[in-house]
Amino acid sequence: MSIVTSKADKIDRLAELSGNVGTSAGASLWRETFNRLRTSKMAIIGAAIVVVFVIVSIVGPLLAPYDPTAQTWRGDVLPNQGKFVGPREGNWFGLDHLGRDMFSRMLEGTRQTLLVGVVATLIGLVVGFAIGALSGAAATLGGRRGQQLDTSIMRVTDILLALPSLLLAVSVAAVLGQSLTTVMIAVGVVQIPVFARLLRGSMLSQGGAEYVLAAKSLGVRRRRIVVTQILPNSLSPVIVQTTLSLATAIIEAAALSYLGLGNPDPSIPEWGAMLTQAQRFFSNEPLMAVYPAVGIIVVALGFTLLGEALREALDPKLRG
């Protein structure tokens, strides 16, 4: 019960902190947020990391000096005979145990890692948004049926939140089978209850705002108030969570690939899978594992810094 309360309280706290954001004029709010982000060192560093990561994922594979899946180098088949070769001229990161250029595989792996993180986050966002909007609307509109529906949805959400995220992702991946699509779905399922509860909490926070009371006094229908006023003004914490979830999705996707639940084709470079392949060489050749590990850490740090900076910029208690 304490696990459920802890997770749920953190999510509700984020919704509460951003709950009054929508009461200001939209244009001025986002202009002020952008101005605060421009002066935030944390936001600048996070944005720089994210931009570099995105650019590398787009153009990196085109700039790769060698075929990342080819087990040859300059015409020689397996020149390292099953051993890792460290950095040298022509191979900045060296060759892996199958003679594949590590630098080329890191560039191609950037695209695979970004694809998994973005798709998984979109799955969690879309499904969680729909569930959270339904629950929040039911709770806001009131009525016996609405309250029952909201309670039922939130109890299921609390059950999912009670499960450790990695354990839930592993369970889903084990049921669906080994594939890259499975990793995306499994990580996306973990994100669904977070987005659902966050949006629902934000909508409840907005339900008591002055503009909602004013609309009710003017005779505007409750459903119209929910759709046109409460829901749009409840999106700020969801936007923040989306940025933070990208970092979590990348780490969890790498963990699933490391556990052997990712792409069954080992020739396709993906940072989590590359960690798995480097495991048996770690004691003698740690660099083979250091490259993908550092990539995962830096990218996750970039999204986390950007998300935290965005949260602080949107926090009404920190805004002047």
Q: DSSP for 218-278? A: TT--HHHHIIIIITGGG-HHHHHHHHHHHHHHHHHHHHHHHTT-S-S-TTS--HHHHHHHH
Q: What are the pLDDT tens digits along the chain (320 aa)?
A: 455 456 666 556 545 544 444 444 455 666 777 788 888 899 899 999 999 999 998 998 888 888 888 876 554 545 555 677 778 777 888 888 788 888 999 998 898 888 888 999 999 999 999 999 999 888 887 778 888 888 999 999 999 888 888 889 999 988 988 888 899 999 999 999 999 999 998 888 887 777 777 877 787 787 888 888 888 888 888 888 898 898 889 888 888 888 888 878 777 888 888 888 888 778 778 888 899 999 999 999 999 999 888 888 876 655 55
Residue ranges covered by each domain of the chain: 2-67+90-314
pTM flag (> 0.85): no
Report CA-CA distances (Å) from 99 to 257, 270, 271, 285: 21, 17, 17, 14
Please name every residue paired with 101 in a beta bridge, in sequence order, or none if there are none.
95
Tokens encoding 89: 């001229």
Q: Which CATH class is domain 2-67+90-314?
A: mainly alpha
